[in-house]
Amino acid sequence: MLEQNRRAFLRNSLLAGTAVLTPFSLMKLLAGEKGKIISPNDKIHVGIIGTGSRGHHLAYLIKEYGHEIGMEVTALCDVYQPHLDHTHAMIPEAKTYKDHRKMLEDARELDGVIICTPLFVHAEPTIDALETGLHVLCEKAMERTLEATYAMAEAHYRTGKALHIGHQRLFDPKFLRGMNKVYEGDLGKVTQIRAFWHRNNDWRRPVPEDQPELERFINWRLYRDYSCGLLTELASHHIQVANWVKKDIPVDVRGTGSISFWKDGREVEDNVALIFTYKDGTQFIYDSMIQNRRHGLEVQVLGHKGTLELETNNFFLEDPPPQKPAGIIQLLHDLEENVLGKVPIGSSSWDPEVAMTYKGEPIVPENLTDGTWEQFTGFAKAIREDKPIPGLFEEGYYGSIWTLLGQQAIDSGKVIQIPKKYNISKFLM
């Protein structure tokens, strides 16, 4: 493509950049990194900011499996001493900090940082780390406001350092392979995507009895100043997936939500429903609730030839191919080997008149991971090559932006579109 054309193309495509993030390239990346011999001098040192529930879990993964990709946690930072102590006990060799700026003063000892603070504390440490010259993996969603989210994007493009957002489905083999199926036309024309996330619990974390003043600090996800609840903490994942399926961003979103069950002083909805519309007419229909867990979580991609159920690793064809009965398989085998054998008709459980039941097929042979570990492989590669994986950040960005726009739709009762200023294709010219 001529440079001029390329620029025009990028300008015209809102999700510019994503065009180059093919599931195939990520699959290749994961396969390529697997089993690589890493020299002891090539260790990657990371610091974790926010050692609460997620931060502790990620620290554990790196401690256990980091040797596979040559990654080590050498610094931990949290403002809350009990959490810092808890993770430090697991990784005693790591340096500890109570202020992320202090940690960044020792940036020479680090190659990257992983940010697991609450949603509203994502932008500040992220931007500080990028400006210090470090690569960042920041948990999803990006931030509490559109402005802060955009500021993070701006810092990423300005510094040229990688900013990965913790939408781990981008590295989940079943999602990667599923996305390939979509792009290769195995599903036919996709005109609807449905996703839901249902739980049955109050979504509260325990607060120390003698320190009730910590309620908002610990249960930050229940309060509007800090979080958009079900949207930023859960829906963000599936919104990213829907954009990924469509290789596009929505035209608009409408929605509704309420606090209808857990009326305990929380400020975020306990049930929500959203519809995102894409320019080809596709709808992405999302709902979430925390007072019934019967249906769990799922993303369904519906095309005229097939359906993906990504979370549960299933693919269904609208017209399933007839399966070869065992007898026919044996007959073919015998004939090929020039053997005169008996053709077994049916089996003990066979019922000649009953139509077959079709249970679909797995997308990947075994559903062993949710991509959380694999995303570190991508992060390690970006750090070693000192450059972002093309197209990856944009997935996280628009996934986060449209999550916040979904909240706006619920709050305002209006149909919401993306304000022009949050379009980041200008950075990609």
Ligand X SMILES: NC(=O)c1ccc[n+]([C@@H]2O[C@H](COP(=O)([O-])OP(=O)(O)OC[C@H]3O[C@@H](n4cnc5c(N)ncnc54)[C@H](O)[C@@H]3O)[C@@H](O)[C@H]2O)c1
**Range in contact with other proteins (rule: CB under 8 A) among 79-87, 127-135, 303-311, 349-357:** 349-357
**φ and ψ of 255, to 5 deg:** -170, 175
What's the angle, vertex CA 253, arms to CA 252 and CA 259, rounded to 5?
A: 165
Supply the DSSP string of 397-424, one letter for each residue: HHHHHHHHHHHHHHHH-S-B---GGG--
361 binds other proteins (CB under 8 A): no
Q: Quick check: 168 binds ligand X (CB under 6 A)?
A: yes
Report the partner that residue 49 touches, choosing among ligand X, other proteins, none (CB closer than 5 to 8 A by kind).
Answer: ligand X
Q: Which residue is nearest to ligand X (CB)?
A: 52
Rounded to the nearest 5°, which phi and psi values hold at 189?
A: -85, 125
Residue 121 binds ligand X (CB under 6 A): yes
Which residue among 296, 346, 362, 419 contacts other proteins (CB under 8 A)? 346
Q: Using alpha carbons, select from 407, 424, 427 the residue that is nearest to residue 416.
A: 407
Supply the minimum distance, in Å, between the C-beta of residue 343 and other proteins.
Answer: 5
Q: Does 319 bind other proteins (CB under 8 A)?
A: yes
Question: Does the footprint of ligand X cover residue 270 (CB under 6 A)?
Answer: no
For tokens 């006990």, what's the residue? Answer: 89
Our finding on whether 166 is near ligand X (CB under 6 A) is yes
- Under the binding rule (CB under 6 A), the answer on residue 79 touching ligand X is yes
Separation CA 343–CA 340 (nearest Å): 9
Cα–Cα dist 297/288, whole Å:
9
Residues 202-241, one symbol each (x = binds ligand X by CB under 6 A, - = not), give -------------------------------x--------
The residue among 147, 300, 165, 289 whose CA lies nearest residue 231 is 289
Q: Which is nearer to ligand X, 49 or 418 (CB)?
A: 49
Residues ≥6 apart with Cβ < 8 Å to 363:
174, 177, 178, 181, 308, 310, 313, 314, 315
Q: According to the binding rule CB under 6 A, does residue 394 interact with ligand X? A: no
* 305 near other proteins, judged by CB under 8 A: no
Task: Determine the 3-state secondary structure of 310 from DSSP.
Answer: coil
Nearer Cβ to ligand X, position 129 or 380?
A: 129
Q: Does 201 bind other proteins (CB under 8 A)?
A: no
Q: Which residues are near ligand X by CB under 6 A?
A: 49-55, 77-80, 83, 100, 116-119, 121, 139-140, 166, 168, 233
